[in-house]
Chains A and B, each alone.
Chain A
Amino acid sequence: MTGAIELAGVTKTFGRIEALAPVDLVVEPGEIVTVLGPSGSGKTTLLRIVGGLDEPTAGTVTVAGASPHIARSAKRIGFVPQSPALLPWRTVAANARLLLDVNRSRPTAGPDPVDLLAEVGLAPFADAYPHELSGGMQQRVALVRAMALGAPLLLMDEPFAALDEITRTDMRHLLARLCEPLATTVLFVTHSIAESVFISDRVVVLSARPGRIVGVESVDLARPRHPSLEDDPAFFAVETRLRALLHEGAGR
């Protein structure tokens, strides 16, 4: 059986800067995997390579057995960027539909964006414009926009990094609730330990630049995960192990 994502010996250099040391990673279908690392560890680069937005300098990448470009043009990747990147001239509902409107000839079989908006509590704002929303609400629209594709793979690039702590916590609870019932594979990039533990099946820890995998931690916490989990000693235990790995990766 092929993995949803397979990376073999992937490296990336920008000019003379080595961003990624050889990275090998297999993500199984339906798995939620977080890439955790300090700023500049190349985690965004890794995500962009998986999404076919960047070419690896060496090594091979496959998404569902094919090249990322094939997955991209078949609209089989739902991408959630760091900033919500909502189009200010489109309403919330129209922004949620944006990726469906592009390349309409290639069909998708995702959930109705209207239902998704309701699920994330934005039904009353369907006709509002992005500037009328708070940061957390904008990021929820960005989540809906990606999930509406019904793609088997979701790539998320620190989507909650710019939010305040409380909103950020709410967002990871929402994300877990949305993703758990799905068969979707999720690759999530973050520098927040709590975020990685709460949503993931496995956490991949990257070192400081050039990014290499310091360790992979399985998160054997029961699903569905409820917000109360974050007060559980088992949750702290995983956090502690990840913190140790991060320190090891930083060379301290």
Chain B
Amino acid sequence: MTTRRIVLAGLAGIAVFGGLWELYVRLFDVQRYILLPPSTIVGELVGHPRLYLDAVLVTARHAAVGTAISLVVAVLIGAVLASSRWLEQAAQPVLIGILVAPWVAYFTSIVLWLGSGDWPVVFLVAFVTTPAFVFATVAGMRSADPAARELLASVDAGRVEIMRRLRLPSALPSILSSARYTVGLALAAAYYGEGGNLAASGLGYLGRRSGGAGSQNAEVLWATILATVALGVLFLGALSGIERVALRWHVSQRDRARHGTG
């Protein structure tokens, strides 16, 4: 499918979903503390463009910087773990622990440690997204063609060169595909962190200040949810673009392209 058709199909899906939602709320007269109709939420966003745009930019920065840091750290850790089964096994419980530990429980400690402002939020994002990237890096590097490794050994390639020329490119597909999951995680962590980091910025802050779905400001809460979703879709779109360029050679990107001759 062409990009245009993909976008159109996506928009159609959103329109149908939004229409059914609107219809349901109006038809059954759903209480506003349970669910708002999408028209009201969009109206809130359009009514205060400056407020939400500023907040979106802050949240986008938190999620992007945190993910970038986590990516670099995870590739370094992953490269070390990929070199030894024992190290990988030893690191497994810690990584899983990070992945499943409830942020709610420890985020206050991070704020007390790093102070208010951007850093506790960025730290939280980087911290919770690291395990997924590490797993992807290890699996990807392990998938490097053993025959290619032998070939590089036949000209005495060093570890760094094998890493750069073989293992890292081999890990790229799995790292990028894990990024699809990580984007959601990063936004959720950024939103949560902004709600609790004592700094008055970001979608998470607006959402928290609104007082919740049952309050007079339910529109604000729902508007931040919708804005976060839009941000996630945007990030995933950008990711698809990166995959298309960086993984031109990979099986996953080949369906539209030419095939081997047999």
| Interface residue ranges, A against B (CB under 8 Å) | 51-53, 69, 72-73, 75, 77, 79, 81-83, 85, 87-89, 98-99, 101-103, 129-135, 137, 149, 155
* A101 CB, nearest partner CB in chain B, Å: 7
Check A79/B260 contact, CB under 8 A, given A73-B156, A98-B165, A103-B161.
Answer: no
CB of B26 closer than 8 Å to a CB of A: no
Chain A residues whose CB sits within 8 angstroms of the CB of B152 once the complex forms:
102
Closest A residue, CB atoms, query B151 = A85
Query: Which of A102, A129, A133, A135 counts the most chain B CB atoms within 10 A?
Result: A102
CA of A149 to CA of B145, assembled, Å: 21
Chain A residues whose CB sits within 8 angstroms of the CB of B150 once the complex forms:
53, 79, 81, 85
As a 0/1 sequence over residues 214 to 250 of chain B, the CB contacts with chain A under 8 angstroms (1 = contact) are 0000000000000000000000000000000000111
Establish whether residues B169 and A72, one from each chain, have CB atoms under 8 Å apart when the complex forms.
Answer: no
CB of B262 closer than 8 Å to a CB of A: yes
| Interface residue ranges, B against A (CB under 8 Å) | 145, 147-148, 150-158, 161, 165-166, 169, 172, 248-251, 254, 258-262
* B151 CB, nearest partner CB in chain A, Å: 5
CA of A133 to CA of B152, assembled, Å: 22
Chain B interface main SS type:
loop
Chain A residues whose CB sits within 8 angstroms of the CB of B254 once the complex forms:
131
Can you show 24 pairs from A to B with CB atoms below 8 A apart? A53-B153, A72-B153, A72-B154, A73-B156, A75-B155, A77-B154, A79-B150, A79-B155, A81-B147, A83-B145, A87-B148, A87-B165, A87-B169, A88-B250, A89-B249, A99-B154, A102-B157, A103-B156, A103-B161, A129-B249, A131-B259, A131-B260, A132-B261, A137-B261
CA of A103 to CA of B259, assembled, Å: 33
Chain A residues whose CB sits within 8 angstroms of the CB of B169 once the complex forms:
87, 89
CA of A188 to CA of B54, assembled, Å: 67
Nearest 6 A/B pairs, CB to CB: A79-B154, A85-B147, A73-B156, A85-B148, A89-B249, A134-B261
Chain B residues whose CB sits within 8 angstroms of the CB of A98 once the complex forms:
151, 165
CA of A137 to CA of B166, assembled, Å: 22
CA of A83 to CA of B248, assembled, Å: 22
Check A99/B155 contact, CB under 8 A, given A53-B150, A89-B169, A89-B249.
Answer: yes
Establish whether residues A81 and B161, one from each chain, have CB atoms under 8 Å apart when the complex forms.
Answer: no
Check A101/B260 contact, CB under 8 A, given A77-B154, A79-B151.
Answer: no
Establish whether residues B157 and A103, one from each chain, have CB atoms under 8 Å apart when the complex forms.
Answer: yes
CA of A66 to CA of B247, assembled, Å: 43
Chain A residues whose CB sits within 8 angstroms of the CB of B261 once the complex forms:
132-134, 137
Establish whether residues B258 and A85, one from each chain, have CB atoms under 8 Å apart when the complex forms.
Answer: no
Establish whether residues A72 and B166, one from each chain, have CB atoms under 8 Å apart when the complex forms.
Answer: no
Chain A residues whose CB sits within 8 angstroms of the CB of B259 once the complex forms:
131-132
